[in-house]
């Protein structure tokens, strides 16, 4: 599939989601401000996106900011917003210029207006692209997403099915992630894609996000290719 050159046989992930955690600790260990960790993290993310698309991955979802992160000190949140303000267009533009559609998932109304505009413009500029996609989860929380979807269903006055409910989520139209990678040593989902991750393969790395290299990504994909995804069935059923 794609230009995949790292695995022979086995399964290749169409959609990878990344919980980029550990920017702050990475900086702290180097006696640097947390904001420097976030800047390095953002640069690393772009590198990983380029690598993933080169290998043939079709969708990448990045957990950039959770609804709970908004409770961090104002100084850190302002720093993150400034990072987006000053670098998002340039960095993401570089990846999207290769035919990648950008979508923001989350309650973006919680962002400053100029940032909402930057995201809207990027979404509009890239809406013409099909096939490859970057989803930026910003002001995203899975519980918030589910509650939001339930309220939409109530407004419509219709009972939901698993499929119709999925279409009320921020990730409408995006396939579920095959592989979710979390860096930064913690082994949890921290309110990320709780509905969509029902059968995702999970991969945890002890590396802090700014030091998660392209080779580390390759390693995660290789491990994914060796996993058996049963979706509730038996091994014998899978052979048929």
Q: Which residues bind Mg ion (CB under 5 A)?
A: 21
Report what 106 binds from Mg ion, ligand IPE, none; CB cut-off 5-8 Å by kind. Answer: none
Q: Closest distance between ligand IPE and the C-beta of residue 27, in Å? A: 8
Per CB under 6 A, residues contacting ligand IPE are 19-25, 63-66, 69, 80, 184, 186, 188, 190
Instruction: Identify which of residues 42 and 149 has a Cβ nearer to ligand IPE in the complex.
Output: 42
Given 23, 69, 144, 176, the catalytic residue: 69
Report what 210 binds from ligand IPE, Mg ion, none; CB cut-off 5-8 Å by kind. Answer: none
- What is the helix (H) or strand (E) element at residue 116, kind and residue range? helix 113-126
Instruction: Identify which of residues 160 and 189 has a Cβ nearer to Mg ion in the complex.
Output: 189
Q: Closest distance between ligand IPE and the C-beta of residue 80, in Å? A: 6
Give catalytic status of residue 21 as yes or no: yes
CA 235 to chain centroid, in Å, comes to 30
Which residue of this chain has its Cβ atom nearest to Mg ion in the complex?
21
- Measure the CA–CA gap between 223 and 192, rounded to whole angstroms: 21
Spatial strand order in the sheet of 59-66: 100-105, 132-140, 59-66, 15-19, 179-182, 201-204
Dihedral of alpha carbons 42, 180, 192, 100, sign: positive
Burial 198-224 (b: 16+ CB within 10 A, else e): eebbbbbbeebbbebeeebbbebbeeb
The DSSP string of 6-61 is S-SSS---SEEEEE---HHHHHHHTT--HHHHHHHHHHHHHHHHHHHHHHT--EEE
CA atoms within 13 A on the CB side of 209: 29
Report what 186 binds from Mg ion, ligand IPE, none; CB cut-off 5-8 Å by kind. Answer: ligand IPE
Q: Closest distance between Mg ion and the C-beta of residue 184, in Å? A: 6
Instruction: Identify which of residues 27 and 84 has a Cβ nearer to Mg ion in the complex.
Output: 27
Report what 19 binds from ligand IPE, Mg ion, none; CB cut-off 5-8 Å by kind. Answer: ligand IPE
Report what 190 binds from ligand IPE, Mg ion, none; CB cut-off 5-8 Å by kind. Answer: ligand IPE
- The DSSP output letter for 174 is S
Instruction: Identify which of residues 98 and 188 has a Cβ nearer to Mg ion in the complex.
Output: 188
Instruction: Identify which of residues 39 and 132 has a Cβ nearer to ligand IPE in the complex.
Output: 39
The pair of structure tokens assigned to 183 is: 């860096």
Give catalytic status of residue 235 as yes or no: no
Catalytic residues: 21, 69
């Amino acid at each position: 599939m794609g230009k995949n050159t790292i695995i022979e046989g086995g399964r290749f992930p169409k959609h990878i989601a990344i919980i980029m955690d550990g920017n702050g600790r990475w900086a702290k260990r180097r006696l640097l401000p947390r904001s420097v960790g976030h800047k390095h993290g953002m640069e690393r993310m772009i590198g990983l996106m380029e690598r993933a698309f080169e290998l043939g991955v079709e969708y990448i979802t990045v957990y950039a900011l959770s609804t709970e992160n908004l409770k961090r000190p104002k100084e850190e949140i302002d720093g993150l917003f400034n990072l987006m303000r000053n670098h998002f267009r340039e960095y993401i533009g570089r990846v999207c210029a290769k035919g990648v559609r950008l979508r923001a998932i989350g309650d973006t109304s919680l962002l400053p207006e100029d940032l909402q505009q930057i995201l809207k413009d990027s979404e509009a500029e890239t809406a013409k692209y099909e096939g490859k996609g970057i989803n930026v989860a910003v002001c995203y929380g899975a519980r918030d997403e589910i509650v939001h979807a339930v309220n939409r269903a109530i407004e419509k006055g219709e009972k939901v099915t698993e499929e119709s409910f999925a279409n009320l989520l921020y990730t409408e139209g995006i396939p579920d992630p095959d592989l979710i990678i979390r860096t930064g040593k913690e082994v949890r989902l921290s309110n990320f894609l709780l509905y969509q991750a029902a059968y995702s393969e999970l991969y945890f790395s002890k590396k802090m996000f700014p030091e998660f290299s392209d080779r580390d990504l390759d390693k995660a994909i290789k491990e994914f290719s060796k996993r058996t995804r049963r979706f509730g069935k038996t091994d014998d059923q899978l052979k048929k």
